[in-house]
Amino acid sequence: MRCTPPRSPNLLLDRDGAAPGVTAHRASCEDAVKSGGKGAVGLSCHRCGEQFGKWEALEAHHLSKHAVTELVEGDSSRKIVEIICRTSLLKSESSCVRIERVFKVHNTQRTLARFEEYREAVKLKASKLPKKHPRCLADGNELLRFHGATLSCALGGAAGSSSSLCASDKCAVCRIIRHGFSARKEGKAGVGVFTTSTSGRAYESIEVPGVGGGGGGDDPAATRRALLVCRVIAGRVHKPLENLKEFAGQTGFDSLAGKVGPYSNIEELYLLNPRALLPCFVVICKA
Ligand SMILES: [Zn+2]
Ligand SMILES: [Zn+2]
């Protein structure tokens, strides 16, 4: 039997102390909005106490300093992430992939709101269809999926214990956490953002630039591979039989199934809208 990630990931994702932090952050933002964001006093970071005059500055500070926190070995959330990753690794070719570090992503209120707005849009669209899709109507058909991405900064590096995002556009992990997924950058073959049900497949899908002789300025050796464990609003899933591109233009669907495994497990799923993905954990791996 194939082990698939749990279908209601929010239960496990919001249990480990992130919620109070998020609430506090929202309070900070609301205070700033109330005072017009101009020269507001008492706008402080709930994590480190640093003071800010504008909520934009507080958000920028959050993104560079507190967007991710490491889950150390033994942490209950880390154990869950390890189980999610390892169960699927054992069933794939890449059983030699080793989990090095795990970080929890603290998304901003703005990012969370955008994700929820997208869910509502998918539910609304589903409600207007003659054929009812219960999962879409209930929660937009939320799934837990993997997305493989390159990491080219010191986040979780061996030297020291960096847990800050970099600002480089070339570092896919940090760019995605800062700015969200991009249809242009993560979209594959014009059919959307690629996700997998197994960590092994996600790991294999990562293309490290420069390795193929790209000649970019980056040092390929410094580029690591990471898995983003994402909450995904799959919506209505189209399951084309052969060529993905033939079906990409069809309307009414929110995602496209690539490879479908036994027991209808959608091993590869392309999200047509990059807003459908919310990164929740960063898992840094080593082959
Ligand atoms: Zn702070
Ligand atoms: Zn980075």
Q: How many CB atoms lie within 10 A of CB 77?
A: 18
Ligand 1 geometric centre to CA of 59 (Å): 9
pLDDT of residue 28: 41
Radius of gyration of the chain (CA): 19
pLDDT at 215 over 50: no
pLDDT at 198 over 50: yes
Calpha distance 144→3 (Å, rounded): 13
pLDDT at 232 over 80: yes
List the single range of 4-18, 28-42, 156-170 with lowest mean pLDDT.
4-18
Q: Residues 259, 203: contact at Cβ < 8 Å?
A: no
Ligand 2 geometric centre to CA of 73 (Å): 22
Calpha distance 233→211 (Å, rounded): 33
What digits encode the pLDDT tens for the residues 266-279?
889 999 999 999 99
pLDDT of residue 263: 65
Mean pLDDT over 258-287 rounds to 87
Ligand 1 geometric centre to CA of 144 (Å): 29
What digits encode the pLDDT tens for the residues 56-98?
999 999 998 999 999 999 999 999 999 888 876 555 555 556 8
Mean pLDDT, all residues of the chain: 79
What digits encode the pLDDT tens for the residues 152-197?
998 987 655 678 899 999 999 999 999 999 888 887 666 789 999 9
Ligand 1 geometric centre to CA of 71 (Å): 18
Kindly list the structural domains of the chain, giving each domain's residue range(s) and its CATH number in brackets, ordered by start: 18-66 (no CATH), 68-286 (3.90.228.10)
CB within 8 Å of 157: residues ≥ 6 apart = none
pLDDT of residue 246: 58
pTM of the model: 0.80
